[in-house]
């Protein structure tokens, strides 16, 4: 399994690059790379600012020129095209608590059911930017981009997909479900992320 991290540039609502924000003395991007390095054949970082991540020992790719600037779907296409394994996890860089145990379970569900994608849902909201995908969908992703159907939901509607919810997961993953799929977009979200991190580290210390 490869892990594809989508690392956009400056966020309009955050005002700065979310991947470079520090939580628990680590940049978000470093947290994700550290979390997924042990379960991934390779980590592919999709960014249009490759020079920012020169210090990382990962495969760094920019969106293919044909679809550059066309949002996360272009990143999904570039990442899956670069992947060398049949299955990949796709994770957005604004999800600092995306658990590798959760990712491993999503990928296992993908393989077991031979799905094109396994996408988690929380309170009725899909989280396609923390999901497991089969590389065989690359032509479908490309077709969406060519036809200017740039929403990830446009892609999902064409896939043999499984939606998983909290109650479908093992008990230990249910306990971390909300944190794993939590994402930050604003300064207030960042402040909350710091609080979540302190809580998680406190829980681990008590154990």
Q: What is the CA radius of gyration of the chain?
A: 16
Consult the annotation and say whether 6 binds a ligand: yes
Q: What angle do CA 43, 30, 47 make, to 5 degrees?
A: 55
Would you say 31 and 54 are in contact if contact means Cβ atoms under 8 Å apart?
A: no
Consult the annotation and say whether 71 binds a ligand: no
- d(CA 34, CA 45) in angstroms, rounded, equals 13
> Cα torsion at 62, 66, 70, 71 (round to 10°)?
-30
Consult the annotation and say whether 189 binds a ligand: no
- d(CA 7, CA 4) in angstroms, rounded, equals 9
- d(CA 34, CA 166) in angstroms, rounded, equals 25
Coil, helix or strand at residue 82: helix
Consult the annotation and say whether 8 binds a ligand: yes
Report the binding-site residues. 6-8, 18, 63, 94
Report the binding-site residues for Mg(2+). 94
Report the binding-site residues for GTP. 6-8, 18, 63, 94
């Amino acid at each position: 399994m490869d892990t594809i991290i989508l690392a956009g540039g400056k966020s309009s609502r955050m005002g700065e690059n979310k991947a470079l924000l520090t939580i628990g003395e680590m940049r978000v991007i470093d947290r994700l790379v550290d979390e997924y390095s042990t379960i991934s054949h390779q980590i592919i970082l999709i960014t249009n600012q490759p020079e920012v991540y020169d210090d990382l020992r990962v495969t760094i790719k920019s969106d293919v020129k044909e679809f550059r600037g066309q949002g996360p779907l272009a990143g999904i296409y570039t990442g899956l095209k670069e992947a060398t394994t049949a299955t990949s996890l796709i994770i957005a860089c604004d999800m600092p608590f995306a658990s590798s145990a959760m990712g491993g379970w999503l990928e296992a569900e993908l393989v077991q059911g031979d799905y094109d994608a396994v996408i988690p849902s929380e309170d009725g909201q899909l989280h396609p930017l923390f999901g497991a995908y089969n590389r065989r969908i690359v032509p479908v992703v490309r077709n969406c981009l060519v036809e200017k159907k740039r929403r990830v939901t446009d892609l999902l509607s064409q896939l043999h997909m499984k939606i998983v919810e909290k109650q479908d997961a093992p008990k230990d993953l249910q306990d971390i479900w909300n944190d794993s799929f939590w994402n930050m977009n604003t300064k207030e979200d960042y402040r909350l992320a710091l609080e979540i991190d302190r809580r998680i580290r406190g829980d681990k210390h008590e154990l």
